[in-house]
Structure 1
């Protein structure tokens, strides 16, 4: 043990920039192939490498090495290349399509191939999903060079038995944000002081992508182009092994699987995966890290319960996902309780694990192939043994939301059938049966109570899809694309007025489009039935009215603008020739009110939860195509709020003095709308901005604490948090925030302990949790009965002529809650028409 500790201290305390530190074991190297140091002009570990240089080096390897080919699988939001390097023997690369076909035969349950040892194992070494966890991308450069240029017998053995796919940077936008920071603040000599700016990025940091999304949560949700590109690639290749390299706090060591036990009571992934395979590979990693004197740990944390990680999604595809976590230098060198940790040291651990992954996969390739084959065959047998034969779903009012849901199913290669104009069916008996379970099944019982991430993820609830389990299969036409799924009747011209359904998910985008083109648009605060050019039709709360004669544009231009909007967003629109309706209010009613175009701003910066802010930015940018001003907190004192009629505050810590709080209050009192989400709603109550209250636990001053084991403190305290559950609310459909919904019961996502006490004002509580609120996920009995059942999810509190719209829960969670996005968009577009009776 003393020898190991001494070696560790040496590794982290001396200058390790000699590239022999990494590569000596795999000499000799082909001198015609440049090393990373020769190509970059500096040694790996001396600087953080920009993404464009990583891509350039990969292209160079493909140019000079017959073992290597380069491809792209997409681009990021900021236009950076998502690249894949394929490495094997020249013979394997020439026959890659044949090998691919033979490989994919093991994923086809209808085939009974047994040549497990004759096909190279397919390995995906994937790096740097969190941009400010940079050591792994540097390791990717070394790994690519090793397999492209090493002449060592060990490496040649691996190449003969494997096809290796290297994805060097899953999150290029975040990586470059962090790379710029680390290199900009790098000292000479290096500064190891943890308080130095190099080790402490400014908000939002490089962890996330352009819109501040955590891409390691996006494999299941598939919202961002980085994830969608990778998923499309993944389902072309179905690799046997996939790595997921990360970094963690500097005071730790190194983690590899096996993980903490899966929290599900009955995990849908095979037990063989999370026990046998992980333990098998774990022995390889332990031996390799022992050989270089690195300390590590396993099994303590990082449960793989949530299926949307880079290390858990492959487990649902017949592969083995492997998580690695390296203590981070957070720059180039940093002082820790164990001594100084250097960037080269962190890179070497990741590099060692990369090569070891290939070794373990090659030496167990027959096992991995048989496992993947059994995985997909067992999907059919498990489905056959279930009484549920499929799920039917549809929506008569919102085909664009259903379209988005089906698009997600097809992204995961789930078979979907259309058995009517607006009805669909997903059979359980299909190779992706476990993904069908992930999408539709809900769970409320677990064998653990503390989760690394969400304990609920049923996608059907994310999209507010009304679905039913069926005991028999329903026939229909298979869907392969959603391109022609939504077909609306073309708009005909009117000289009087047009009506637009507010029920459709894309209706807010249409409204923004029309307002940005200068049209006056009204909204109906009552339902009605009208005679349209397409026949008599009932219209719901929130229906948009565009009167032709009141516009500053001529009727032809109005029709053109509406037609363009319909073509872009595929939203039902109707021409009417009279304001006299068949039932309900008429079009000139006082309940049909002109809408003010939102001028929205959002506070961002240190203390603000960047995930939530990014979700709003992404929603408005990519789906509504509406700008929102992002105001850094450091500028708030000099910000002129009167330029805006809507201000958004997401969860976070707002250290505002009384003067700043009064500034917000005075602005709201003028008739404006403040939207608060999560802990920002708690902040509004705590600071007495509104006269609402929170539900808190009553303290008994005479109570005596019950002694508990110290070692259990983390688990006991951790389970009282709400890591991520789906709960039922009852929504007031007549409230402007409820416009566009047809059913009062609405699932929402809760991942906080913000418990809003229902308002004393009879008209302020818009959505309240039901008496049986839990749909999916883990919550303690105390949190459920003492808080959740008695709380409100959404309230509006008046301040002067304005109002505060308070969300207890995040309606835009991870960009995937299509079912509750409308609540937020209603607050944005209709907020100024909410006048709470006092």
Structure 2
């Protein structure tokens, strides 16, 4: 009877599984329409993913790993064989042991791990449609092919990396499309309105944020990625609708840190894709446009973490809609686009499965070399620790923790030969015991090399993005690169405490050196604490204080009573600010606290321009700065109604990069000038500053444009008539001689000006254009490029010449107000930490 009962239970279990298998719905059955007939809302995508997990718990697990800024769920789907799914945690831990991230020995057979990311650009929406079919194929119990592939592979799928951007696009498209889609390229449904669905909530390009992780989606996704470190990562995109399909191998330049094995496997996976595309007579291209140099893409950042990283690009994007008639007369449909991404996903899985042993072996070798034989000339990176660097150093260590990059401290003083980032020279330097040390002998050494090295070797100047990003410059820290090995100590230096012995001091003093200090100021302002700022350096109690030092006096804050001390001290503790207390308003040198050089800082009402004509990315960087980085209120104004805005309601107006010809017509610009004359502050960045250049009452002048440039060209041609005999095939390379592709320059500062407070003599700018400005005759040339200020990155020969003797940062008094010109964007992509204090200076200090 016991045997019969046991047999009955097994039979019942099998019948239950079979019933579930028979009931498993295809995407079309679940959604009520065939994939490609319409776009699927994000909520329905998540519904189907969760449905599969409920129906096939032996094949798929779903994890909600976070939420977007707009509250939409972020999901990961883990698909594995019946044998491997129950031991997912063991497989994950084994993989980290292989990389040297975790301790212990690998247990059991280790499959290869494939991670596939879909829809990181919201309006490249086809991939989140395709992933539904991919998931069904992986979970379908009748699909013997995927069953076989899953024997050697764990697949992790992110069905939609950017739900907020996708939903912005899909909702708009559904509202504007003709029934069934209108293929005419002139139809309304093929013209997305500003800002488009590509970026996330704050209009950041998430595919430029893999390494920097400034956005909530990236932070949460990378925390999960670092727990797995897959052997293969595939990132699915779209490009213009006239293009066919792109898959690996990638174009040059490939970063020199990409190993021969990683380069070779680009061709291997390309061969798997090529076979399927050839069988279906689908057009494609390889080795063009999409390179592997900039470290913050969905193919490069995984590559520098040991994976085979690849980009897949389908022609279509936000313009294509449900159907799009191309110039060759063919009609590109959403169904076509889905089919291509679907097949590319399966080809990638097949390649991973059939090469699983090689992938895991090379993965172990990659990390073993990182630990024992790291590449590159430099083996240690040292960051100088001092009172002025504390805020930026904290930001750096937070970033290193995020990246799982190991670091420590020198522990003792020593001397070494090193590259000095400040002057670009090899010289003897002193390493102090509290200096931060990052050794190349660690699991993430390749990533360290890529992010920290002074110069990245560029094998081909035709690259897709910026060409320099070295962390010492990005964080504005004094740093050295040593060719010798220096092992960091695990002992952390003692933290400077706010040991204030005076219970009710005359004033609290706080240095002004980093974004943390800006946060401290804005939070005090929000709590109605009145803060002053010294325009001049001073000395007190044998301590030196630079210009920009914050002074919180009891005078002026009487209304807070005893609460003042508790608020100031708690806010300083929250933001890691070291306070000093003063029992007097008298200083031993400099200006006393009652001097006219000690300015009260008014809490400004800030307006930020947004809308048609404004760069969504440039706007988003500033919006994110206020809301997410310093927590300060900002009012966003739309260009469509700007003419009706009473500017007297605001103290500061910020113009991000953009085209302002329509919104700031002659009448509107006159209103803005009158507002500035009355005491307003106008901050114009990049092309917004260029728009103001040369206009009446604005002292800024373009340096390289107009008639002067035409005369130079004419002179060159006259002197060398053969210059006109250019080869058509060289046109791209000829053009880049006039380009600067995200290169670092040392900007000389007038450190006595409030715009430069906290920096000393130098600011490192990430310059991305050679369209610069002349020194102003009437105004303050606060930050300038002199004859040899180039530090690193690609700069064309003609561009480098144009960037000599150029204005980068300046201010102009206008009546009782100020105009601030920022030719460089100090908030670029949210990762250029060195610029965040500068922007805070422009908003809170200039004009006070």
Fold shared by both chains (TM-score > 0.5): yes
User: What are the equivalent positions in structure 2 for 1:783-802 lying under 5 Å apart?
Assistant: 783-784=799-800, 786-802=801-817
Match of 1:470 in 2: 482
- Note if 1:88 corresponds to 2:76: no
Q: Distance in 1 between matches of 2:843 and 2:797?
A: 35
The verdict on how the C-alpha distance between 1:373 and 1:255 changes in structure 2, with shifts beyond 3 A counting, is same
CA distance in 2, matches of 1:165, 1:790: 52
Give CA deviations for 1:371-392 in whole Å, capped at 9, x if unaligned.
2122122224443884634434
Q: CA deviation at 1:209?
A: 1.0
Equivalent residue number for residue 364 of structure 1: 355
Deviation of the 1:739 alpha carbon: 1.1
Instruction: Specify the alignment match of 1:687 in structure 2.
Output: 695
Equivalent residue for 1:813, pick from 828, 836, 839: 828
- The equivalent of 1:243 in structure 2 is 234
Partner of 1:717: 735
Question: In the alignment, what sits opposite 2:91?
Answer: 99
User: Under a length normalisation based on structure 1, what TM-score does the superposition of the two structures give?
Assistant: 0.90
Aligned 8 A contact 2:657 2:687 in 1: yes
2:738 aligned with 1:738: no
In structure 2, the partner of 1:12 is none
Name the SS of the counterpart of 2:764 in structure 1.
Answer: strand
1:755 maps to which of 772, 775, 780: 772
Unmatched 5+ stretches in structure 2: 1-18, 412-432
For the residues of structure 1 that align with 2:353 and 2:300, how far apart are their CA atoms?
Answer: 21
Matches within 5 A, 1:648-687: 648-655=654-661, 656-687=664-695
**Does the 8 Å CA contact 2:30/2:48 hold for their aligned counterparts?**
yes
Cα gap change, 1:570/1:391 in structure 2, threshold over 3 Å: closer, same or farther? closer
Encode CA deviations 1:766-804: one digit per residue, 9 max, x unaligned.
Answer: 0112433222210012211x2112212111122222221
* Cα drift, residue 442 of structure 1: 2.0
- Asked if 1:126 is matched to 2:117, the reply is yes
Distance 1:80 1:114, change over 3 A: closer
CA distance in 2, matches of 1:619, 1:593: 25
Q: What's the CA shift string for 1:548-591, capped at 9, x where partnerless?
A: 13225132122232133223222122332211112221110110
Cα separation, partners in 2 of 1:304 and 1:776, compared to 1, 3 Å: same
Matches within 5 A, 1:387-398: 388-398=379-389
Give the aligned partner of residue 767 of structure 1. Answer: 783
CA distance in 2, matches of 1:77, 1:566: 28
- Residues 505 and 583 of structure 2 are in contact (CA less than 8 Å); yes or no, is this contact kept in structure 1? yes
| CA displacement 1:70-106 (0-9 Å, x = unmatched) | 1122222222222110001122111222333433343
Compare 787-796 and 352-361 and name the one that shifted more: 787-796
Q: Distance in 1 between matches of 2:349 and 2:776?
A: 60
- The residue aligned with 1:296 is 284
Instruction: Tell me the residue number matched to 1:334.
Output: 324
For residues 333-376 of structure 1, what are the alpha-carbon distances to aligned partners after superposition, in whole Å with 9 as ceiling and x for unaligned?
Answer: 12211322111111111111011110111111122122212212
Q: Is the 8 A contact 1:495 1:549 kept in 2?
A: no
2 CA distance for matches of 1:635 and 1:110?
A: 56
Whether 2:725 is the aligned partner of 1:707: answer yes
Q: Secondary structure at the match of 1:749?
A: strand
The secondary structure found in structure 1 opposite 2:110 is coil
Q: Which residue of 1 aligns with 2:258?
A: 269
State the match for 1:67 in structure 2.
59
Shift of 1:626: 0.5
Q: Secondary structure at the match of 2:544?
A: strand
In structure 1, what is the equivalent of residue 508 of structure 2? 498
Q: 2:786–2:806: 8 Å Cα contact kept in structure 1? A: no
Q: CA deviation at 1:664?
A: 1.5
Shift of the 693–547 alpha-carbon distance from structure 1 to 2, 3 Å rule, reads same
- State the 1:322 CA deviation: 1.2
**1:235-260 Cα distance to aligned partner (Å, 9 max, x none):** 21111111111011111111111121
DSSP 3-state at the match of 2:745: strand
Cα distance change, pair 84–801 in 1 and its aligned pair in 2 (3 A): same
In the alignment, what sits opposite 2:459?
447
Query: Within the alignment, does 1:558 sit opposite 2:546 as a pair?
Result: no
Q: Secondary structure at the match of 1:438?
A: helix
Going from structure 1 to structure 2, the CA distance change for 1:729 and 1:166 (only over 3 Å counts) comes to: same
Match of 2:543 in 1: 537
**For 2:777 and 2:768, how far apart are their aligned partners in 1?**
25
1:433-488 Cα distance to aligned partner (Å, 9 max, x none): 111112221227533222111111212211112111235444544489x9x97854
Counterpart contact for 1:260–1:301, Cα < 8 Å: yes
- Identify the residue that residue 298 of structure 2 maps to in structure 1: 310
1:769–1:789 contact (8 Å) kept in structure 2: yes
Corresponding position of 2:580: 574
Cα–Cα, structure 1 residues 450 and 417, in superposed 2: closer, same or farther, change >3 Å?
A: same
Matched-pair contact (CA < 8 Å) for 2:652–2:680? yes
Residues 658 and 327 (structure 1), Cα distance of their counterparts in 2 relative to 1, 3 Å cut: same
Deviation, 1:499, is: 2.1
CA distance in 2, matches of 1:51, 1:628: 30
Distance 1:592 1:476, change over 3 A: same
Q: 1:159 aligns with which of 143, 146, 150?
A: 150
- Once residues 384 and 284 of structure 1 are traced to their aligned partners in structure 2, the CA distance between those partners, rounded to angstroms, is 31
- Aligned CA distance change for structure 1 residues 485 and 368 (closer, same or farther; 3 Å): farther
Distance 1:478-1:83 versus aligned 2 partners, 3 A rule:
farther
Q: Report Cα offsets for 1:790-819 as digits up to 9, x if no partner.
A: 212111122222221111110011111111
Q: Secondary structure at the match of 1:468?
A: strand
| Cα distance in 2 between the residues matched to 1:366 and 1:719 | 46
For residues 265 and 39 of structure 2, the distance between their equivalents in structure 1, rounded to whole angstroms, comes to 34
Quick one: distance in 1 between partners of 2:141 and 2:177?
32
Contact 1:392–1:468 (8 Å) recurs in 2: yes
> 1:735 & 1:752 partners in 2: Cα distance?
25
- The structural deviation recorded for 1:309 is 0.4
Any idea what the Cα deviations from partners look like across 1:160-202, whole Å, max 9, x if unmatched?
1211101111111111111211122222142222233322222
Instruction: Output the aligned Cα RMSD.
Output: 2.5
Closer, same or farther in 2 for the Cα pair 1:494/1:134, shift >3 Å? same
Structure 1 736/220 Cα, relative in aligned 2: closer, same or farther at 3 Å?
A: same
Question: Is the alpha carbon distance of 1:775 and 1:29 closer, same or farther for their aligned partners in structure 2, counting shifts above 3 Å?
Answer: farther
Contact 1:394 1:467 in 2 (8 A): no
Contact kept, 8 Å, 2:609 with 2:655, in 1: the verdict is: yes
**2:589 equivalent to 1:588:** no
Match of 1:15 in 2: none
Local SS of the residue matching 1:584: coil
Q: TM-score of the superposition, structure 2-length normalised?
A: 0.89
Q: Secondary structure at the match of 1:310?
A: coil
